[in-house]
A = this chain, B = another copy of it.
Amino acid sequence: MKWTDLDDNWCPVARTLSLVGDRWTLLILRDCFLGKSRFDQFADSTGATRHIISDRLKRLVEAGILEKQAYSERPKRYEYVLTEKGQEFSPALVAFKDWGKKHLPVRRATQG
C-alpha cells in the first residue's frame, strides 16, 4: 500500500496521515508554528536532507497546508507560511508536545 492510498480512507485519522503521517512533515510543521518559514531553516532545524525538505514542502503546499510566498524578486526567493488550514493543525502538535513532555523526559542536551 502506498502513502497516498490512505487519502480516501473512511477514517479521518487515516486521511490526515496520508498528508502529514511522517516524521519530517510534522517537524516542518512544528517549525512553522515556531515562526520558521525558509528552506534552510527547515533543513537546519529538522536535520532532514534537502531532498526530503523539498519533497515535503511540495506536498504541504499541494495540500493547502502551507503557502509559498515570494519574499524577494530579483533573486526569486520563497518562504513557506501556514494557511488557515495549516494553523488549525496546531492542536495535534500541542498534543504531541504535551505527551512528549510528560512521558519522554530528555536525558541529555542536544542542539535543535
Q: Which A residues form the contact surface with B (CB < 8 A)?
A: 1, 3, 5-19, 21-23, 26-27, 30, 47-48, 85, 88-89, 91-104, 106-112
Given contacts A1-B48, A9-B112, contact A17 B96 (CB under 8 A): yes
Q: Of B48, B92, B100, which one neighbours A15 at CB under 8 angstroms?
A: B100
Among A5, A8, A18, A102, which residue has the most Cβ atoms of chain B within 10 A?
A8
Contact assessment for A99 and B92 in the assembled complex, using a CB-CB cutoff below 8 Å:
yes
CA gap between A3 and B13 in the complex, in Å? 22
CA gap between A6 and B106 in the complex, in Å? 10
B residues in contact with A16, CB < 8 Å: 96-97, 99-100, 104
